[in-house]
Amino acid sequence: MKPAPILLSTAFLHPAGQALPEPLLALRKQRGAALVDMPMPTRKTENWKYSSKYLKLTDEMAISLPTEGKTGSALAVPGYKVVFINGVVVPEASEYPDLDNILIQRFGDLSDAEASELAERLDSTLDAKAVQFAGLNSARFEDGLIIRLKPGAVLDQPLFIIHEVTADASGSAFPRIFVDAGPNSQITLVEEYISSGQESVFVNSVTEFVLAEGANVTNIRLSMDGDTVQHIGATGVTQQRSSRFESHCVGFGGPLRRHDLRVRLEGKGAECKLNGVVVTQGTQHYDNHTTIEHVSPNCNSEETYRNIATDKSHVVFNGRIHIHPDAQKSYANMHNKNLLLSTGAEIDTKPELEIYADDVKCAHGATIGQLDEESLFYLISRGIGRREANVLLTLAFINELVAQIPVDAVKDTVQIRLNQFFDQVFLEG
């Protein structure tokens, strides 16, 4: 007899925060009801094969983290920003752009009519079966941000969204963002996930982008939660004709890190570029699952992920490209390179190509390697110290991707964090 599956604890199905318009409360309830029989992933769950063992949710972590009186750490981010603490927007710490054609609202501030329209569209970019935990976010979000760009609206500088969790007690947070990018609009959105405190917490985030014809969206996702945070996040994207989506996901490891990025190229001539960098150490984990669906003809996708793992850490990359029968003249290119800095580290990579159209150009490649001894010898034979040579070569592995991040403040943050990593991993001498 097959053992009964372990289900998601019902403790997780009690949302807090009732300050939402009725249509959104109804949506939450409906999504929650759908999760009553949700089995927890095991190693036999295909898309959690390598990561299920890192997911350790306890009932103590089911409670929503308190938001009252939390101000978070002072963040000196220049320009437009929205600060979420424990999944709830802190208006006094935020700085919204003052533009007529870009509306940024908290879910709680929506009229019933607006909320009802939003409820129709939430989750539309994510396949509930493939991304089970996105449904949990929909059942639990207490707040959220909807960003609406009217036709032709252009945000003149990046909008930073800082998601901080205060892990002073066990609990969870469910940050939610919905971006409605109208025709020919443009925005650069930076999501930065950070935490303070040392208790075990669970972050379950979802960000959705709906790109209308000709919209141009750049999303930078910086995953820098602390060592006690398990984070399951999802980003869903749908793209209409000639729209462009560019994503830069930079992640540092933790006890559990999972990010699902799903892009659907629904309109002719849409294109996306997905870059990813993951760095793990100690016993950390990071799992990126990406899916690009070429639904319409003449769409381009370009994906480059690079992972670095050291000590006994574990990185997973699963990149799937699905070319639908009508998607003739698709161009899809996916590359994943991996660098193991120690023998105890593990990287599992799996590119998946499913092609149902005959006139397409697709390429994929994955490599796993170590630092090149010959290159190392070349550098030190010029008087460069071993530590510095190791740093130069490791940086070289991801430099190209870091250099492409279009926001300098983010690049600086990444560089500082990388320097910490190098200080810990490559010792003097």
Among 169, 353, 393, 409, interactor with another protein by CB under 8 A? 393
- State the minimum distance, in angstroms, from the CB of residue 304 to another protein: 13
- State the minimum distance, in angstroms, from the CB of residue 429 to another protein: 10
Residue type, 265: L
Distance CA 111, CA 109 (A): 7
- List 388's β-bridge partners, or say none: none
Using CB under 8 A, which residues numbered 373 to 392 contact another protein? 373-375, 377-386, 388-389, 392
Q: Report residue 19 as tokens.
A: 């300050």
State the number of binding residues for another protein (CB under 8 A).
Answer: 24
- State the minimum distance, in angstroms, from the CB of residue 428 to another protein: 13
Cβ closer to another protein: 356 or 378? 378
- State the minimum distance, in angstroms, from the CB of residue 55 to another protein: 34
CA distances to 171, 200, 204, 317 from 60, in Å: 6, 9, 15, 30
Q: Which stretch binds another protein (CB under 8 A): 53-61, 326-334, 355-363, 398-406?
A: 398-406
Q: CB neighbours of 137 closer than 8 A, spacing ≥ 6?
A: 174, 175, 176, 204, 205, 206, 234
- State the minimum distance, in angstroms, from the CB of residue 269 to another protein: 32
Cβ closer to another protein: 296 or 338? 338
Cβ closer to another protein: 296 or 336? 336
Query: Which among 263, 97, 262, 114 is positioned nearest to 186, based on CA atoms?
Result: 97
- State the minimum distance, in angstroms, from the CB of residue 420 to another protein: 20
Distance CA 90, CA 66 (A): 13
Distance CA 411, CA 253 (A): 18
Q: Crossing angle of helices 112-121/22-34, nearest 10°?
A: 30
Among 59, 372, 408, 412, interactor with another protein by CB under 8 A? 372
Query: Which among 233, 35, 255, 257 is positioned nearest to 134, based on CA atoms?
Result: 233
Q: Does 356 bind another protein (CB under 8 A)?
A: no
Which chain residues interact with another protein by CB under 8 A? 372-375, 377-386, 388-389, 392-393, 395-400
